[in-house]
Amino acid sequence: MALEEYKRKRRFEETPEPPPKVEKKNSHRFVVQKHDATRLHYDFRLEMEGVLKSWAVPKGPSLDPADKRLAMQVEDHPVSYFDFEGTIPEGNYGAGTVIVWDVGTWEPLSPVPVNGEYVPGTDAEASAMLKKGDFKIRLHGKKLNGDFALIHMKGRRPGSKGTEWLLIKKHDDSVVERYNIDEYDKSALSGKTLGQIAGDEGANEWKSSRPASRGKVKAPWLAETLAKLDKKKKTQSSTKEPESKPEKTRAVKKKKSSHK
């Protein structure tokens, strides 16, 4: 089931990350989030089939075709995860600071070239290519542009879960040889670095770039979750049976009655 794994890994009463909602429409957007968690990595996400298809790229994407970047496919994320940056609180899954490193749109490339060149494809072709493990796309971002391929690695190493892919830049006008991702360390949204986001006052909790709409709660979905939890607690407390008297008290009363 879509987003089931995403839901299983999170405690929504403790972190205001968005709930696992599948969208009905797709806008063909992509986002790359730089994530300083247990290990620094980049999360590459494509809006597709009502969710964000996601891969964790340890060294980050590259504009140099010579760089074949390992990309570990992870659980689908909700589309509302698209523009989040901030810090996920300690004790929660993925705890650490995040910035939106790049944003833009993407389009699938037809697996059948025309006159030796790849041309835009359809959503049906995109789903088929993803399932096959040979997924060709074209990015139009602030930092990443041009054609890329996501290739599923078929060879299974000992202990492998079969989630290993390669993210490879194709040869085109957007190629940058000896590409150094560390030269581009600022958010595409806020213009801040990971260190600046982590040092912001109040950035010790995950926050969305969207303003909160209910009281002091930073996200409407969190307010809804907390309201449900409060209602559940009140229901449990109202139906709870009165506690029995301690065993020691009952024993004393029994002892007194024996002297009558």
Reported as a single tens digit per residue, the pLDDT across 43-61 is 999 999 999 999 999 999 9
Cα–Cα nearest to 144, from 167, 110, 113 = 167
**pLDDT for the residue numbered 173:** 96
Expressed in angstroms, the distance from the first to the final Cα of the chain is 69
Whether the Cβ atoms of residue 59 and residue 40 lie closer than 8 Å to each other:
no
* CA gap 67, 11 in Å, rounded: 37
Q: Tens digit of pLDDT for each residue in 128-187?
A: 999 999 999 999 999 999 999 999 998 666 767 889 999 999 999 999 999 999 999 999
Whether the Cβ atoms of residue 96 and residue 38 lie closer than 8 Å to each other:
yes
Q: Tens digit of pLDDT for each residue in 82-105?
A: 998 888 888 888 888 999 999 999
Pairing type for strands 134-141 and 40-48 reads unpaired
Strand spans (E) along the chain: 29-36, 40-48, 51-57, 68-77, 86-88, 96-108, 134-141, 145-152, 164-169
Largest CA distance in the chain: 108
In the chain, domain spans: 4-210
Cβ neighbour number for residue 192 with a 10 Å cutoff: 18
- pLDDT bin (cut points 50, 70, 90) of residue 9 is confident
Cβ neighbour number for residue 164 with a 10 Å cutoff: 18
